[in-house]
Structure 1
Amino acid sequence: MPDHWQQELHQHVEDIADELVELRRHFHAHPEPSGEEFDTSLLLYQRLSELGLTVAMGPEGCGVVADNSSPAPGSARIAVRGDIDALRIHDEKTAPYRSQNDGIMHACGHDAHATMAYGVAAVLSRLEKAGQVPWPLAWRAILQPAEETATGAKAMVAAGVMDNVAAIFALHVDPKRLAGVVGIRKGALTASCDAIKFTVIGQGGHGARPHESKDPIAATALLVSSLYQFVPRANDSLDGTVLSIGRIAGGENANVIPEQVEVEGTLRTLDAQVRAKSIDHIRQVLRGVEEITETRIEMEIPADTPAVLNDQTATELLRKAAIHTLGSKQVEKIPRPSMGSEDFAVYLEESPGAMFRLGVAKPGTEHTLLHTSLFDIDESALAHGVEILAHAIVLACSPECEFQSR
């Protein structure tokens, strides 16, 4: 099959480049936090509907799903995922598109992710309408809410967005790489993340007579120290295991021993067996602290996200698309996984797929990191992300691709 479609795809991306910048700036100026992305979802619904796609809203009015024309019987769709929620961070930039919603900001690049997922739908629609596709395409754009709270992907999957999806692609902006450079990795890309909450229940009393109480603060101090010391050491040092406590709350008065203390943290691992072993060891530590301190410790895992494990075939398609778009010297191999987490992993439990890192740093400027109040991107990267993802989807729709025969 001739490669003429690749030049046509590139031209379509160039044709909508200004629209991509305009849309990203709109999202950046009007951010909405997890679970409240109503206006963002409505705008995406309208834009995708104008492309002539079959569009549906996500659960409770947050999120959008868009399909091209129904695929031929027996064929499966290739999906692209973009997330749309913002963080509760105050935007301190002076750019004209800075956040207009005080205390809320797109500090993780989801404005760019949503824009690029829309852009993929736009250029694939143009390619199909112009009769420039090398073979029939069956694809789906998934714009999900609530990535930051690790609940959006699960809700979208429960709503059926992965039905008849053979593979799925996504990206994440990377402020440590220059625009025009991407990072790709097969296998583990990010860690699993379990949010863990402990409630240490004791017996309150007067600060002058601790022997008459069962001090939950003392028990908490022992708990945290023991967890930090013994949980990582239960695993091979080469297996990534990170346990961090981020919140401790208990007591109201300096001279009163409280009844209970709340402790919250996260456990991050790269392997399912290591994760299970670590959780078992945490429970062993709890039992030991309970016995020594005569307190009771309740443990729950209110949220969990698996590790992103990039499929080999999907990763290779992204690599080919990136090399064609940017050149081989601009495509870097990511040497090791991140201990951060991404709920894109939830989709990968349903179908194979892959995520890559898209460089968004501006040359000659200080890098602004994710989840910070000055975060911004080089908007030339938007076109790069759209072209790579769209190119990979076309390749994955080929009758010769294994995704079409699974």
Structure 2
Amino acid sequence: MEGNVRRSLDEFLAARGPGLIAFRRDLHAHPETGRAEHRTTRVIAERLAAAGLDPVVLPGGTGLLADIAAAENSSYPERTVVALRADLDALPMDDEKDVPYRSTVAGACHACGHDVHTTVVLGAGLFLAEQARAGLLPGPVRLIFQPDEEGSTGAKDVIAAGALASVGRIFAVHCDPRLDVGKLGIRSGAITAACDHIKVRVHGPGGHTARPHLTADVVYALGKVVTELPAMLSRRVDPRSSLSLVWGRISAGSAANAIPDEGIAEGTVRCLDNEAWEAAPALFGELVKSVAGAYRVTVELNYQRNVPATVNEPASAAMFATGAESVLGPDGVMPTQQSLGGEDFAYYLDCVPGALARLGTRPPGGADGDLHQPSFDVDERAIGVGVRVMVATALTALWHGAAVPEPPGPPARGSLAGAAEGER
């Protein structure tokens, strides 16, 4: 990033950094779950409007977009808008931290860092708007504040609203409590996994535990499904795809001496490979029926698609790394592993090139934390780091705006085809 821009960014954060931290704390104290982010949407819109931007609330009433126009002397071809995306929603859990900005809303908590993501994109947008007013922004930028990421439907609604029109690349960060503040983790290719939901319901006539041979033993059949299904996957699917099934809920019966007429098991299916993910519903249907069929029960499978794998486009990942290194130094950027967690940013990357990076939020020398914990918090210096990284990445992408490749097709998403021995 050019020296003049870096100095301007330093001055911006010196003046506005404390206000951004206060904004994040306000969001943290007033969390709103998916589709209910009305206050969050309003306070973001007020900040953007005060900066001279024209925010547009999405059709569902939560989430918003704001465009920052390029300098008048810029000349860019179509599809060169650079988008920066943040997610707004909190999780449905109580906040257990003893801090002044603890959640004031029972049953809602920013335990995944979306308040940080939102503040980072807001801060980057406010700085880029200043650059635009000074005639220094080399290309257009779109700010996307998305609702309902945790519900995995918000990104699809944003896309349906036309938010990717003319967008050439899109970038986002996600908090990483296992990475020190001041660091950014990035990788080319898949960075998160596909994540689906599965429910198996087993039926029988019910009966007495003294005479299981006269009925259909639903509990035994369900136990076989629960234990056999994960084992069968290891012999039916390429292990490099990391297709896994983990059960989270099993329920059957209410009396020790009665065989119930119904049992239910629910869990999540996660996968790193697109080809295996596409084939998973049919495979699970086949395997569930083959296991349960031996026990004279009827079985129903509900396989619910959630999100595909998030696959960083190589050129965009390189731009992220280049931009981050320009503000953090070469030691500030490091490779990161692929996670089995799900992230609906994947839907954007099915439409346009882009990349998701991991923003370090752990105090240096601190203990590893995890997301989705009621005690989750961040080292707030990560906000300034995130603003620097997003500004530098947006400018890097704009400077390369004339060389935007075609969006990646679905087969590229996590495919293992042609993977060499020893690849990780």
Same fold flag (TM > 0.5):
yes
User: Which segments of 5 or more consecutive residues in structure 1 lack a partner in the other structure?
Assistant: none
Distance 1:346 1:250, change over 3 A: same
Question: What does residue range 157-176 of structure 1 map to in structure 2 within 5 Å?
Answer: 157-176=159-178
**Structure 2 contact 230–244 (Cα < 8 Å) conserved:** no
Q: Distance in 2 between matches of 1:375 and 1:200?
A: 38
Report how far residue 5 of structure 1 moved: 2.7
Task: Give the letter for the 2:35 counterpart.
Answer: G
List per-residue Cα deviations over 1:99-151 (Å, max 9, x = no partner).
11123211111110111111121111011112333x2x211111111111211
**Structure 1 contact 368–374 (Cα < 8 Å) conserved:** no
Pair 1:86 & 2:90 matched? yes
Q: Distance in 1 between matches of 2:135 and 2:9?
A: 12
Q: Distance in 1 between matches of 2:156 and 2:30?
A: 25
* Structure 1 vs Structure 2 CA RMSD: 2.1
Distance 1:403 1:16, change over 3 A: farther
List per-residue Cα deviations over 1:63-92 (Å, max 9, x = no partner).
111112389784332111111111122211
Distance 1:246 1:400, change over 3 A: closer
Q: Distance in 2 between matches of 1:52 and 1:214?
A: 69
Q: Distance in 2 between matches of 1:110 and 1:232?
A: 35
SS at 1:274's partner residue?
Answer: helix
Question: What does residue range 233-312 of structure 1 map to in structure 2 within 5 Å?
Answer: 233-312=235-314
**Structure 1 contact 78–168 (Cα < 8 Å) conserved:** yes
Report how far residue 364 of structure 1 moved: 4.3
TM-score by length of 2: 0.89
Query: Structure 1 runs of 4+ off > 4 angstroms?
Result: 70-74
SS at 1:231's partner residue?
Answer: helix
Q: Distance in 2 between matches of 1:166 and 1:389?
A: 16
List per-residue Cα deviations over 1:329-387 (Å, max 9, x = no partner).
121112x3111111110111111100111111113443432111211111111011111
Given the alignment, which residue of 75, 78, 86 partners 1:75? 78
Range with bigger deviation, 202-211 or 354-363: 202-211
User: Which segments of 5 or more consecutive residues in structure 2 lack a partner in the other structure?
Assistant: 408-424
- Cross-structure match for 1:111: 115
Report how far residue 215 of structure 1 moved: 2.6
Q: Distance in 2 between matches of 1:149 and 1:306?
A: 14
Q: Distance in 2 between matches of 1:323 and 1:58?
A: 34
Distance 1:175 1:399, change over 3 A: closer
Equivalenced residue count is: 403
Instruction: Report percent identity of matched pairs.
Output: 36
Report how far residue 167 of structure 1 moved: 0.9
- Cross-structure match for 2:62: 62
- Cross-structure match for 2:153: 151
Task: Give the letter for the 2:390 counterpart.
Answer: L
SS at 1:375's partner residue?
Answer: coil
- Cross-structure match for 1:25: 25
- Cross-structure match for 2:102: 98
**Structure 2 contact 68–132 (Cα < 8 Å) conserved:** no
SS at 1:103's partner residue?
Answer: coil
Question: What does residue range 7-406 of structure 1 map to in structure 2 within 5 Å?
Answer: 7-69=7-69, 74-76=77-79, 77-133=81-137, 135=138, 137-334=139-336, 336-398=337-399, 401-403=402-404
Task: Give the letter for the 2:134 counterpart.
Answer: A
SS at 1:168's partner residue?
Answer: strand
